[in-house]
Amino acid sequence: MPRLIVAFALLSVVPPSTASETLPGTRPLTTGDPLDEQMVAGIDRFVMRRIRQERDLRPGRWRLDFDSLESYQRSLATYRDRLRELIGAVGNRPDAAGLELIATTIQDAQVAQNTAMTITAVRWPVQDAITAEGLFLRPTDSPVARVVAIPDADWTPEMVSGLTESPSRFAADLASLGCEVLVPTLIDRDVRFSKNDAIGRKTNLPHREFVYRTGFEVGRHIIGYEVNKVLAAVDQLELRNRNDQRNLPIVVMGVGEGGLLALHSGALDTRIAATVVSGYFDQRERVWQEPIYRNVWDQLTLFGDAEIAGMIAPRHLLIESGSASPEVDGPPQTELRNIAAPGQIRRPDPASVAVELERASKRWQRLRDVAPSQIGAIERQVSTSAPLSLPVTRDVLRMLDVPMHSVDADAGTLSDSRTGFSAAHRQRRQLRELVADTQRVLRSCHRERERRFEAADRASADRWDQTSQVLREQVHQELFGQLPVPTMDPDPRSRLILQTDDFIGYEISLDVYPDVIAAGILLLPTGMNPGERRPVVVCQHGLEGTPMETIDGPGSKAYRAYKSFSAQLARRGFIVYAPQNPYRGGDAFRVLQRKSNPIGLSLFSYIIEQHRVALRWLATLPHVDSQRIGFYGLSYGGKTAMRVPMVLRPQAGQPGYCLSICSGDFNEWVAKNVSVDAPFSYLWTGEYEIYEWNMGHVANYAELGMLIAPRPFMVERGHSDGVAIDEWVAWEYAKVRRHYDQLGIGDRTEIEFFDGPHTIHGQRSFDFLQRHLDWRQVQAP
């Protein structure tokens, strides 16, 4: 360290023309590859390793009691609760009161009939204003079992019930064998209703992604909604058992997306005697390649498919692989706004299924001694025929040891008798119910945030700073995902890239984790005296930006947005560090978010630690006052300004951000993600990585601003900035202002509205920096 200090002091007093090619105390930065590309590629390698590590660590995170069946089920309760939470299968279902018949004055509820069965159009309540709609198949003779038959998302109930052309008619086959069968309608992958004509927005979002986007931010998920529909169907079948005074086995069977729902439903509900999954069960470590509506935050830290299957033990589970289950090549490409996230569905490879099934079977083996009569065979059915063909449905009933009806080949064809029925209208109703529920939760989720924040002490700024630390840690973990604090040597590398009369600039690279770097440009004002310590402003670029864009002067493409604010601040005498953030490279960085989410991480998991390492390094530089390091970011950099300084505050022995300025981003952020009525909502953009799980119940921008307190915090907002409207920004900021006032520190926060677009304004914000970083040596720009 002494060598570094001396060398740096010598550098500060020599003319810029003789500046060292390498910042003293660092090694030469020699790589020719752009640092932003290195950063994104390195994080990708890092997260792929983490995914494999989480798979290996997963079994050790389970603490189960195998002493008895009762103790085993009790020990599963916590895991079932966690799975419900992660897939958004929350809320209370009403008591089952019987299936509702769907009929009109001109149309009876009966859809079709032959000598083997009757098919009726039905609905049943799920929760709040959500219902399920579908078909109810009743065998002519007394039933032998009761089944929820879940088609793939793109198959209607009519298809699997033998009423229209279909790859599989397993619901009709089950009814012909003597089962009562309830078939729910799933939200499909069509795009026709993914729009809002009132605001002129039409997209190619599959309906399932439309629900995913509106729900994810408020802790709801298309998977959870539809699992609740399946479990509400189980409620109805259990009621029929009670009314008939019979204890017929309840079975859940599904194909494709229906297989996903069957697996999760069987894991969550012990009333389900047997679960049958076709075309879904597999190793799930590449879920990031699948459609985004299968993305579940933090799932893979506890739940691969084997672990979910293991929660079904010791009940029956049958896995079918090798059948002609549905495949999806990606979202439809249309003449509309093609903004849907990429993702494909491929039939599970039987060899891969076998590996996961072998892991799952260990749970049944452990339970063999305590529940021998309830152990069902875990079988792999290999077939090139239609999914859940008649032989498979027979195998299911044999597994349950129930008598089957003989299939009557002369039972007669099934023909839909409805004249005015429209499957599209039913799909629209079902979709609108779920979207309406996400908007309802959006309006009410603030209550949970308020309840959380009531625990911290607002008696004084100091008391708030101390008692809110628990909240900071919770938000860090729950909202962004927390990585271990880096411990490796940052091994700083640098090279001279800028020399002006006012400052010199070095490109910097620091090690954070293996393969993960922090990078940026350090601007050092000329004329610094030996021993002098100055404040630092960290100037953060926005989406697809680079540090140099915050420096480039008039005439550059970037100047309209950034106004060369890094260079302006360096000319005022601040030391400036402009970091490279990884939100660059189009889908390359968005895929990082997709890969990270299933293991409970996000882009900000890495960004926070990159900034932590950069702060530590900056604090070692002899001209840096480590207690006066502020943050100022535009757009995605403003998003960073709300998240990183909230976590990285100055503490004993650890540098942090002593203030934060959010420019061009502060917003009613949860509504911006969830709203179907705002034309500037992220629902209508291609930024599918923007969503953060359950933010609506954890911390919106007002709460993030509160957690920056008692440090100074400022918002910079242009009236013509299209990221939102002034009213939304002012609404959310008013809560922050009230919080600072109540702490007696109202002079530490402010908002500047200016007549301009999405840009750095650099007026009151510069004054704010000078005042709160206590920097009086102001030079004219």
Residue 391's contacts (CB-CB under 8 Å, 6 or more residues apart) are none
Predicted pLDDT at 15: 45
- Mean per-residue pLDDT for 244-271? 97
Angle formed by the axes of helices 69-87 and 257-268, to 10°? Answer: 140
DSSP 477: I
Please report which confidence band the pLDDT of residue 409 belongs to, taking 50, 70 and 90 as the band edges: confident
Residues pairing with 540 in the sheet? 633
Predicted pLDDT at 378: 55
Q: What is the pLDDT of residues 35-68, one digit of tens each?
A: 999 999 999 999 999 999 999 999 999 999 999 9
Q: Are strands 145-150 and 516-525 parallel, antiparallel or unpaired?
A: unpaired
Sign of dihedral through CA atoms 542, 548, 553, 554?
A: negative
Q: What is the pLDDT of residues 587-634, one digit of tens each?
A: 999 999 999 999 999 999 999 999 999 999 999 999 999 999 999 999
CB 129 within 8 A of CB 437: yes
Sign of dihedral through CA atoms 89, 90, 91, 96?
A: positive
Q: Which residue has the tokens 């390359």?
A: 588
Q: What is the pLDDT of residues 642-681, one digit of tens each?
A: 999 999 999 988 999 999 999 999 999 999 999 999 999 9
Least confident of 206-215, 552-561, 771-780: 771-780
| DSSP string for residues in 406-472 | PP-TTS-------SS--HHHHHHHHHHHHHHHHHHHHHHTHHHHHHHHTTS--SSHHHHHHHTHHHH
Q: Which residue has the tokens 């004509």?
A: 197
User: Quick one: 187 exposed, middle or buried, by C-beta within 10 A (0-12, 13-18, 19+)?
Assistant: buried
Domains and CATH numbers, the chain: 2-52+482-772 (3.40.50.1820), 73-443 (3.40.50.1820)
pTM of the model: 0.95
Residue 317's contacts (CB-CB under 8 Å, 6 or more residues apart) are 266, 274, 275, 276, 277, 309, 360, 376, 378
Q: What is the pLDDT of residues 335-394, one digit of tens each?
A: 878 999 999 999 999 899 989 999 999 998 898 888 865 554 455 455 567 899 999 999
Record the tokens describing residue 320, joined without a space.
């079918």
Which stretches of 312-436 are assigned E, i.e. beta strand? 316-321, 379-382
Question: What phi and psi values does residue 434 have, to the nearest 5 degrees?
Answer: -70, -40
